[in-house]
Structure 1
Amino acid sequence: MTDTTSLPEPVGTGPEGWPSATELAGRIASGEAGAREVLEGYLARIDALDPALNAFCHVEHDQARQVADAADARVAAGGPLPPFLGVPIAIKDLHPVRGRPLCSASNAVEHRVMDADAPAVKALREAGFVFVGATTSPEFGTVSVTESLRHGVTRSPWDLNRSPGGSSGGAAAAVAAGLLPVAHGSDGAGSIREPASFCGLVGLKPSRGRVPSDAHYMEGFATEGVLTRTVLDTAAILDVLAAAPQSTWYSAPPADEPYRRQAQRDPRRLRVGLNLQPAFPAEVHPAAVALARRAADLLADLGHEVVEQSIPGLDPDWFQPRFEILYATGSADCAVVDESAAEPLNRTLRQAARETDSLTYVRTMLELQWRSAEMYRAWEAVDVLLTPTNPVLAPSEGALWQGQDADPWLPLRRAEETASLTALANMLGLPAISIPLVEQPGGLPLGVQLIGGRWCDGTVLALAGQLERAHPWRHRRPSMPMTIESAGRNTSWI
């Protein structure tokens, strides 16, 4: 047992709750708090709480302390400072970090030490963040829970019997438990927004091409971002990421003004479309329906026009097989050296990818683009689409994998159900944010999602910011401190 009753709160904790990344950056820059002081508080919480949560697969105590000390020296020397100097962050274990082996939560890859940061990671480093380690992910980020043979089970701080979601589940669990003020994540079908929803956090999938990348993974379905507790943090960090150099074939047009400023200003009266159509065959849980309708009422109370809005051309039976042709190639960028060591689902997906001929793959991508042109028409009628983030509640440990011996596709189909309200924004390349607007009976988080039109990241952030000011959620957090027992790394369900 680990007694955490005397564990201190993070530096800067106030009446509203744990400090935000922007607040910590201000404290450090002004000299009110030291970067090393801030870091030590978070490292203490990681050491005390992570044995039960398993949010981290790697913690860099000594390296982080060296970077924090250098940040304090830089403040003392005076002069211009990067926007997030000294603020702790962790990088999801699917993305290259200079000097760190890339694991991808897999026993099947070679775990090479990376000689350079991924572009978004580099942007975060140059913004002054202190990297404290790597957060857990499922193998290759394939599913909507954070469970793997390599790293075991990651648990939600809200309920240790439930998953924080995936694939950025380690990042979400860390921020939700106060182990970090912010964590890096990525999203190919909802992998930032799903864990944000299950953990009571803010999670934005930016527009396609908004965040720098080495390549457009999954044909541009996937992008990177962060898990935070406030809309302002999410907006301010998007400013950092969006300003970084782009090296890919196409990028999003620049914003007219900083996202941070847009998030702090109420939007004009918007037309908001309530939508409950899943992109995959799935039933929307009554709790998720009730949550979305409550959110619609809150938007109407703020003066926005709320209407029912369908998405033309959205057919789950059409979308699912085409999505799976693309998704089967999701591990193509990973240096797999022993496929027999990969988990059963990922072996199945890689075999399916090999059996898909190039003409079928290209034709499928063209069909997705052609159908997208029809679906975009929904945003000609509304400014923002409102949905539940997830149609289901957070799953329990191992539930995703049950029955996979008889049907190896079952875990993916269950993950698709979880992602059935998020994946469409990935296909369309639209900005989408999950926010913990409505508090669920019983306290278990479930988010609502706002999906903006093409390149309208600022509109989404402005509306989310207005909702946050009108109905604050930052004070909500798991019961901490608590007495916990490490649950170990049970992998019997794979």
Structure 2
Amino acid sequence: PYLEEIRAAGPRLRIGLLLEAPTGVDVHPENREAALVAARALETLGHHVTPVSPFLFSERATRGFADLIISASTWASPIEDADKLETYIRYRYDRAASFHAGEYAEIAALLQWETRRVNAQWGRDFDVLLTPTTAVPTPLVGSVYDEANNDPAGERLTEFSTISFTAFCNIAGLPALSLPVHTGSNGMPLGAQLVGAPYDEATLLRLGAELEPIFDWQHRQAPLARGAALTGTAAG
């Protein structure tokens, strides 16, 4: 059970520190600092933090997942009227029809093979991977949505920067935990991400419970949230 797990004394772990985005995008200094702040705290708790350069999927596999697999999943969804779809979702729906079954099978097999290579690093090279949660500070509400709908076939750089450290977890089925350990210059929280081995949520829960008293994030609020609490209105 959750409460029993977070109170359990776990072993001191080998934690790999990754500061460069697997996608190659630039990482904002404040997001990088979030991971470093978490690394220093974990070291004070007795864990061993070491920089690593893990394999986190090839560009071909990543693009195949983002383009072919997600589009095919959209097409396979129970959609009653495709003409009522948002522009970006309709683009995905129609995009799926441009691939054939052989291409899908090829990318699916590549993802299965590379997932085994990715997951084998946990327990062999490190026990937990530590990264920034995103490569950039949190974008404004609606910006990712508008970017996708305004140019569905475009690069969607805002979205790409926000998922650069998290997409490989989705592809490989790895459990991950984001913790608000740092605050940006705008007063908004910045997260550090802990990624565990397959089915090892327990280790992440224990680490989160160890870090919570150090950062005391449950008693901090972002400026807009504080303003809303004082006025009784929703933050815009």
Q: Give me the TM-score of the superposition, normalised by structure 1.
A: 0.43
Q: Identity percentage over the alignment?
A: 29
From the CA coordinates, give the structure whose radius of gyration is larger.
Answer: 1
Shift of 1:330: 3.5
Q: Over aligned residues, Cα RMSD in angstroms?
A: 2.4
1:434 counterpart SS class: strand
Matched, 1:375 2:123: no
- Determine the structure 1 residue equivalent to 2:165: 421
Change in 2 beyond 3 A, CA 1:427/1:416? same
Aligned counterpart, 2:72: 329
Larger helix share, 1 or 2? 2
User: What does residue 282 of structure 1 align with?
Assistant: 25
- Asked if the contact 1:284–1:391 (Cα under 8 Å) also holds between the matched residues in 2, the reply is yes
Partner of 2:131: 387
Sort the Cα spacing of 1:411 and 1:300 in 2 relative to 1 into closer, same or farther, 3 A.
same
Letter in 2 for 1:456: D
Structure 2 residue 103 is matched with structure 1 residue 360 = yes
Q: Distance in 2 between matches of 1:444 and 1:403?
A: 24
Cα distance in 1 for partners of 2:55, 2:3 equals 33
1:28-107 aligned at under 5 Å gives the runs none
User: Residues 403, 334 of structure 1: CA spacing in aligned structure 2 closer, same or farther, 3 A cutoff?
Assistant: closer
User: Is contact 1:279-1:423 (8 Å) kept?
Assistant: no
Unaligned ranges ≥5, structure 1? 1-257, 488-494
Count of aligned pairs between the two proteins = 229
2:193 maps to which residue?
449
Conserved 8 A contact 1:383-1:452:
yes
Give the 3-state SS of the residue equivalent to 1:371 in structure 2.
helix
Structure 1 pair 473–348 and aligned structure 2 pair: CA distance change class (3 A): same
Give the structure 2 partner of residue 120 of structure 1: none
CA distance in 2, matches of 1:345, 1:364: 22
Instruction: Flag the 1:295–1:286 CA change in 2: closer, same or farther, 3 A.
Output: same
Q: CA 1:465–1:486 in structure 2 vs 1: closer, same or farther (change >3 Å)?
A: closer
Name the CA shift for 1:369/1:447 in 2 (closer, same or farther; >3 Å). same
Aligned 8 A contact 1:266 1:463 in 2: no
Q: Structure 2 vs 1, CA of residues 278 and 467 (structure 1 numbering), >3 Å: closer, same or farther? A: same
Q: 1:282 to 1:321 in 2, by over 3 A?
A: farther
State the partner residue of 1:263. Answer: 6
Q: Is the alpha carbon distance of 1:315 and 1:278 closer, same or farther for their aligned partners in structure 2, counting shifts above 3 Å?
A: farther
CA displacement at 1:317 relative to structure 2: 5.6
Q: Which amino acid aligns with 2:230?
A: P
